[in-house]
Structure 1
Amino acid sequence: MVLILLCVLALLPLASYLAYLAKTLPPSVTQVTTSCGTFRGRHINGGYSFKGMPYAAPPVGPLRKVLGQEDCLFINVWTPSLQPTARLSVMVWIHGGFLHMLSGGEPGYSPTEKLAVDTQIVYVSFNYRLNAFGFMALNMLREGSPSNTSGNYGFMDQIAALKWVQKNIQVFGGDPEKVTIFGQSSGGTSVWTMMMSPLAKGLFRAAVDMSGSYVYKATLEQAESDNLLFLQKTDCSDLSCLRRLPVTDVLKAIPWQEFPSWAADDLTDLPIKGHFVGPVAVVDGYVLEAPPFEVWEKKGNYNDVPFVIGTTEQEADFSPLAENISLWTWGDYRWFVTDKLQSFSETLPTKALELYPSSTPCPTTDRCPERSYTTMVSDIRVTCPNSDLAQRAAEALDSPVYRYLVTHTPSGPVNVSGDLLPFPSRFSFHCLDTVAFFGGLEAALGKPLSDGDRSFQELITRHLVTFAKTGKMADEWPEYPAATALLSDQLSTVQSYSSARCQLWKENGLFAYAWIN
């Protein structure tokens, strides 16, 4: 009987065969047809997920125009409905990782079927080219480029993914006119880039930048000059040689240690005067026509959409440079602050210690010097520069701008036996907001959530979902600069967070040391 059935199927046209398969899919499997083909997904927890769908032709073989063969241009969708008439709001996630690493499917750092069902939103994530394969700027790579540019290939991938969403998301129950982009760390930087790029005009209606960088100061010519060191280390003298390089040789040639280094090895510590990390993303004149603030000032061709800018109070606590920081005494704290800041001015350490004293209230009974130090580092590197970004955005955009700071202290330290974080962070660490939103906080802590943890997780989820569905926050969260929302187990607001501290860092030129990429 089986043999007869196989023979009959072999005689069917391909279309009929595929139709037969579709009708015989198990209950937990479903399929959709997009502009790039037909794909199977799974139906679980009341929701649907489709992973690893191509959204653009891979840069391999004849399409290999730049470094490497990065066959990574895949997109994922999680949705509570496959009815095209559902027209649900859509949130497109852009992962972080310093534009060097990670992916759109990291456990605890990406959407789930449960999140889609609970929030009734369609979620999208995707991979884009990273590291040298996605961002190496070299004059030699301009050859054959229709835009006469190089670098920022990863951003071009992001734009291609957003175009795919516009073309296909209705198949997954989403509304292409209700797309919000959100990203964390370099994903937040990517969100801001998409807002400023004329190539992304009209591809989304709202944006959320979580702990991104506001530094865009490298021109294409400067980056191409800096990256000549990479070219020298490859021993290549022409483009064909570069394109033939194995992946391992490309990675070996990246200037991880030599200045200007691609390695962000000190961005979670107080800055060293005159020491800057080399740029990965650049102002190339194509993806970014000019530095973002200049684009705003000149009323250029950017996306004027509702904008949320968020950071966490102890961003630097996720990977502090001093490995023994959790054991510091207050004496250690004062010594490190003085040692690091005295090169900027003789009086700066004293002023800093006055604004970040040992008497600052601490929510735990231990590791309090660590909290003060990582708060100071975070204010310099992330929090104060992003408040400046929010101020400039509020002045430039007609759309509403919102600012938040996560102040929640989790009920325990991060569980380092997991793969998500490398340090037993104790306070409001980098990506706490993201991990909570994606439902990964319990896994990150390695224990059941406390009532406070759960309230925080529900709070940030509720407000981000409200923003994605309506383009604005609830009435309890005013627009910036009228208020900054402080997010813990409850929402409170302040008119200006740590204005005296931020003014100190701005007056002494430390905004120039904000996180980059």
Structure 2
Amino acid sequence: MSEDVYEVRERNEYRYLVQEEGEEQYCRRSYVSPVLVLSRRCIFLIASGVVALLALAGYLAYVAQTPPHGYADVYTDCGALRGRQRDGVFSFRGIPYAAPPVGERRWRPPADLQASGLCWKGLYDATRPRSMCAQVQPLDETGRILGEEDCLHLSVWTPTLSPDARLPVMVWIHGGFLHMLSGSERGYSPNEELTAQTGLVYVSLNYRLNAFGFLALELLRQGSPTNSSGNYGFMDQIAALRWVQKNIHVFGGDPGKVTIFGQSSGGTSVWTLMMSPLAKGLFHRAIDMSGSYVYSSSLQAAERDNMVFLNRSGCRDLACLHKLSKAQVLKAIPWKEYPYWAAEDLTDLPTKNRFVGPVAVVDGHVLLDVPFRTWENGSGYSDVPFVIGTTEQEVDFSPNYENISSWIWEDYRWFVTDKLTPFNASLPKQALDLYPSSDKCPTRDRCAEWQYTTMVSDMRVTCPNNDLARRAAEALKSPVYRYVVTHTPSRAAIPSSLLPFPSRFSFHLLDSLAFFRGLTETLGEMSPADRSFQDIITKYFIHFAKTGEMPNTWPKYPSHTALLSSNFSAVQNHSSERCSLWKSHGFYQYAWIN
């Protein structure tokens, strides 16, 4: 049999010519050519290679997206963040929460990042804090400028990144007379140690300060969407709280269990936010530590008082104000002329008819009315559990007299008489009878300093805050609690940029430094009593953040005031006789401000 083979290409078949028994026949057989076999093998190999390459690419992409050891990634509504992980705590620092308030955004409400087209692609480096807000120490004769206008950042610390954890959240608002400091001060802000020990989520934020954050001027109303001026720093705080509501779940936090807490002007900020309709629903408990008693300046009055800023700046229109450098803005602030933004005498008995002008104002936008009147009207405020705290010798952090530590009792009596006689000739004797040299001093030295700073603190801070707590208890359905720190540290504070004086008693900052584990650095070494005080304040703050109330050992105000030292006690009518003296002579108008 002979055979010729040829391909029928269009059908991929082969015909065979067969000669058999004198006949020619064509047989048809399907046949795969060697070329086709090779092609299929190639396709298989190529396909296998593609699959392998895709797998490799996927692995490489996974490796690229998986953070290296010691780092962690989260995804917020504006983009991905890379932070750090150490000792079971995740930290994400310097996260933008609003558009940079620069250029035309200076002296405007904070702008949303997404609406401004400022969200980012890729990973944002959240491993380090960003710049503090532009500032100068009001009493720093060198005029050294710190920080930048582009400063609206916050930081988060958390023990878990599981959205199912739903941990309580504490949002810290720093103090500094609304003029200085930041949310990243060492020993005065959240940190890994506190987070690990308490198991809560912490947020700390920067907000605009001084003239950048609180300048009220009629010129600044031009083009303003709120038809107001001033209080930009409070608007920043509200923007940060909105960010928390949108994003805190990816950090393991519960947006329905947010506590705001702040010290000094941070405490003032806390109860300002309680009074603002713009902040309703953004937080659920509040702790005010050594905040202002009240401010009631109208927008019009503040704008009139701040004309001195305009004169010092040399500007007459909005365009000129926007062109000022940050140094020119800070230099134009009336630190030592009315309205006395430096507030130099707030740590002393007052001078008759000398008042410090408020930085925060009733602007008609953040605050619709005078705070106490808002409570009296019964609406427009956040009715949340509220803690109000002060320290017994607040002004000992920076007393007005450098030699006060060497005073003897004769010096004490002379200064009290000199400062109070202009108010009423009989007032010095009344005050000295209530604050006698025979009182038991907690230390062996500096006792005249102790009694003088107690008197000033009662008049400026403690007694007015008792009245604030009373008004809160009358207005709120939620529980109100009051505490006074009476702990005397085991040694004098080491002077620092945060604490310029070697404070010896229950000074301004003592409660916040204890909570943030800053006492070791402040004192150099902690005694068992110091540690006990730190544990007590931590225990009660954390219980409040978790539950919205204090344990039964701490009754609500006004029935009791908690005294926090190396042990806990709750007393009735704390300082009531002393406070009656200051109130009867109208001294609450000289209360701590800003």
Q: TM-score, normalised by structure 2?
A: 0.83
| 1:21 alignment counterpart | 64
What letter matches 1:258 in structure 2? E
- Would you say how many aligned residue pairs link Structure 1 and Structure 2? 503
The change in CA–CA distance for 1:350 and 1:392 in structure 2 (over 3 A counts) is same
Q: CA deviation at 1:233?
A: 1.2
1:66, 1:133 within 8 Å by CA — same for their partners in 2?
no
| 1:422 alignment counterpart | 500
Identify the match of residue 435 of structure 1 among 495, 505, 513.
Answer: 513
| 1:86 alignment counterpart | 165
1:494 aligns with 2:571: yes
| 1:373 alignment counterpart | 452
| 1:57 alignment counterpart | 99
Deviations 1:193-234 (A, max 9, x none): 000000000101100000000221210000000001110111
1:193 aligns with 2:193: no
| 2:294 alignment counterpart | 215
CA distance in 2, matches of 1:256, 1:87: 45
| 1:3 alignment counterpart | none
| 2:470 alignment counterpart | 391
Pairing of 1:104-183 with structure 2 (within 5 A): 104-183=183-262
Q: TM-score, normalised by structure 1?
A: 0.95
What letter matches 1:444 in structure 2? T
1:36 aligns with 2:78: yes
Pairing of 1:89-488 with structure 2 (within 5 A): 89-416=168-495, 418-447=496-525, 449-488=526-565
Q: CA deviation at 1:20?
A: 3.9
Q: CA deviation at 1:101?
A: 0.3
3-state SS of paired residue (1:181): strand
Gaps of 5+ in 2: 1-53, 110-133, 135-147
What letter matches 1:223 in structure 2? A
Deviations 1:138-163 (A, max 9, x none): 00000111110000000000000000
Aligned CA-pair RMSD: 1.7
The change in CA–CA distance for 1:129 and 1:15 in structure 2 (over 3 A counts) is farther
3-state SS of paired residue (1:175): strand
Q: CA deviation at 1:21?
A: 2.5
3-state SS of paired residue (1:485): strand
CA distance in 2, matches of 1:290, 1:482: 29
1:36, 1:55 within 8 Å by CA — same for their partners in 2?
no
2:149, 2:326 within 8 Å by CA — same for their partners in 1?
no
Greater displacement, 91-100 / 109-118:
109-118
2:348, 2:395 within 8 Å by CA — same for their partners in 1?
yes
3-state SS of paired residue (2:443): coil
2:349, 2:419 within 8 Å by CA — same for their partners in 1?
yes
What letter matches 1:51 in structure 2? R
Deviations 1:166-194 (A, max 9, x none): 00000000000000000000000000000
CA distance in 1, matches of 2:313, 2:457: 36
Identify the match of residue 48 of structure 1 among 81, 90, 112.
Answer: 90
CA distance in 2, matches of 1:459, 1:32: 34
CA distance in 2, matches of 1:248, 1:349: 44
What letter matches 1:498 in structure 2? S
What letter matches 1:52 in structure 2? G
1:36, 1:54 within 8 Å by CA — same for their partners in 2?
no
3-state SS of paired residue (1:369): helix
Report 1 or 2 for greater relative contact order, CA contacts < 8 Å, sequence distance ≥ 6: 1
CA distance in 2, matches of 1:126, 1:463: 23
1:108, 1:420 within 8 Å by CA — same for their partners in 2?
no
The change in CA–CA distance for 1:16 and 1:103 in structure 2 (over 3 A counts) is farther
CA distance in 2, matches of 1:59, 1:464: 34
What letter matches 2:361 in structure 1? V
What letter matches 2:551 in structure 1? A
Q: CA deviation at 1:64?
A: 3.8
3-state SS of paired residue (1:266): helix
Percent identity among equivalent residues? 66
